[in-house]
């Protein structure tokens, strides 16, 4: 299985995130990438390639131009306004405030485009986000040109980014860019399977009213887990998209037998949809020792996950999302890929 990757991810690493009422070292850290690459090399996944340049026109098929322009210019505006720390939103257009007016001031603009306050923008964020999107897009192009399976090692992740909001460590929605690219390049229907612990709220919102992309998500119950305000079972799509959104939330302490029952239901839904290709938002923060999640999967379980996904017999692009038990992220990620190729 070919891996698409880039060291440009190193351009983005904020000094801290807000957690437990403190500014702490971000859980989404550069060494996550290092552990995955080490595990890939140890298991013989040596076919590794740099991405092609990002097709900006295809990017704008997923993200609003004003939002993309904001990401491009945010840091310069932040610095030119006299701020010296990292760009973290402090005010949001919540209930009772206007939600349709974009401020000129960068502090207000950050809040307008932010999903949450834990994710900072730095001098290198735009460079890293573009590289991650280019990785997913290059993987998509390989699939569209006939490859059977590709791993897109994206950092930063993407599934929380909507068409016009960042947060949850995500800036551009890598999986959505890949799915849209598959459609542009000839697919009639695409399925996205999101197995990250956290609900892919951004991906859901991008495709919610469309019938050419099926979104299936297994995740922690949003009553107790980020992003809290999407991911419920009654969110099934709207308009033409009615019936093409399946949320499978699970409660605290869920172990593999119950989790895999949800996966089987998701896979059946994908089979019934009969897509031309599959994008997997691959998060391994379902692991039992993940510091910001509450499922109980073990490393060996990820082999089974890959085997079951492979059973769909679809051209499959794996797009890296979360996983914050850093020392185990490599083996857990690569076990999914091993399960897939070894059937």
Cα–Cα distance for residue pair 172/128, rounded to 1 Å? 10
- What is the number of domains present in the chain? 1
pLDDT digits (tens, 9 = 90+) for 221-253: 999 999 999 999 999 999 999 999 999 999 999
User: In whole angstroms, what is the distance from residue 139 CA to residue 25 CA?
Assistant: 31
Please indicate, yes or no, if residue 143 is contained in any of the structural domains: yes
Q: Is residue 108 part of a domain?
A: no
Whether 133 is in a domain gets the answer yes
Residue 18's Cβ-count burial label (10 Å; 0-12, 13-18, 19+) is: middle
Q: The CATH number of the domain where 158 resides is what?
A: 3.40.800.20
Query: Is 284 part of any domain?
Result: yes
Q: Is the peptide bond before 227 cis (omega within 30 degrees of 0)?
A: yes
* Residue 16: CB atoms within 10 Å: 15
Q: Is residue 335 part of a domain?
A: yes
- Could you give the residue numbers annotated as active site? 160
Range of the domain at 298: 2-64+122-341
Low-confidence ranges of the chain (pLDDT < 50): none
Question: Is 59 domain-assigned?
Answer: yes
Residue 46 lies in a domain: yes
In a domain, 77, yes or no: no
The 3-class secondary structure across the chain, one letter per residue, is CEEECCHHHHHCCCCCEEECCEEECCCCCCHHHHHHHHHHHHCCCCCEECCCCCCHHHHCCCCCHHHHHHHHHHHHHHHHCCCCCCECCCCCCCCCCCCCCCCCCHHHHHHHHECCCCCCECCCHHHHHHHHHHHHHHHHHHHHCCCCEEEECCCCCCCCCCCCCEECCECCCHHHHHHHHHHHCCCCCEEEEECCCCCCHHHHHHHCCCCCEEEEEEEECCCCCCCCCCCCCCCCCCHHHCCCEEEEEECCCCCHHHHHHHHHHHHHHHHHHCCCEEEEEECCCCECCCCCCCCCECCCHHHHHHHHHHCCCCCEEEEECCCCCHHHHHHHHHHHHHHHHCC
Task: Write down the pLDDT at residue 343.
Answer: 66
């Amino acid at each position: 299985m070919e891996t698409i990757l880039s060291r440009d991810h190193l351009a983005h690493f904020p000094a801290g995130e807000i957690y437990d009422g403190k500014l702490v070292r971000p859980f989404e850290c550069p060494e996550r990438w290092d552990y995955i690459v080490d595990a890939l090399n140890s298991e013989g996944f040596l076919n590794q390639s740099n991405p092609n340049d990002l097709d900006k026109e295809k990017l704008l098929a997923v993200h609003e131009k004003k939002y993309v322009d904001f990401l491009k210019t945010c840091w310069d505006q932040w610095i030119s306004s006299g701020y010296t720390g990292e760009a973290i939103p402090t005010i949001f257009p919540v209930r009772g405030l206007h939600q349709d007016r974009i401020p000129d001031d960068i502090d207000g603009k950050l809040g307008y485009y932010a999903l949450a306050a834990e994710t900072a923008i730095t001098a290198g964020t735009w460079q890293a986000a573009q590289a991650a999107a280019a990785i997913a897009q290059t993987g998509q192009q390989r699939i569209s040109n006939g490859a059977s399976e590709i791993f897109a090692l994206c950092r930063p992740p993407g599934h929380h980014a909507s068409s016009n909001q960042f947060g949850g460590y995500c800036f551009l929605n890598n999986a959505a860019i890949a799915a849209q690219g598959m459609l542009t390049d000839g697919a009639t229907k695409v399925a996205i399977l999101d197995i990250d612990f956290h609900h892919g709220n951004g991906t859901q919102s991008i495709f919610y009213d469309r019938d050419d992309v099926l979104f299936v998500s297994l995740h922690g119950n949003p009553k107790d887990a980020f992003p809290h305000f999407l991911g419920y079972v009654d969110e099934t799509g709207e308009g033409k998209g009615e019936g093409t959104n399946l949320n499978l939330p699970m409660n605290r302490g869920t172990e593999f037998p119950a989790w895999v029952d949800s996966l089987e239901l998701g896979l059946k839904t994908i089979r019934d949809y009969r897509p031309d290709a599959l994008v997997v938002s691959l998060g391994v923060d379902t692991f039992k020792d993940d510091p910001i999640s509450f499922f109980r999967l073990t490393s060996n379980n990820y082999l089974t996950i890959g085997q079951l996904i492979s059973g769909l017999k679809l051209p499959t692009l794996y797009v890296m999302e979360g996983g914050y038990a850093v020392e185990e992220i490599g083996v857990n990620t690569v076990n999914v890929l091993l399960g897939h190729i070894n059937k």
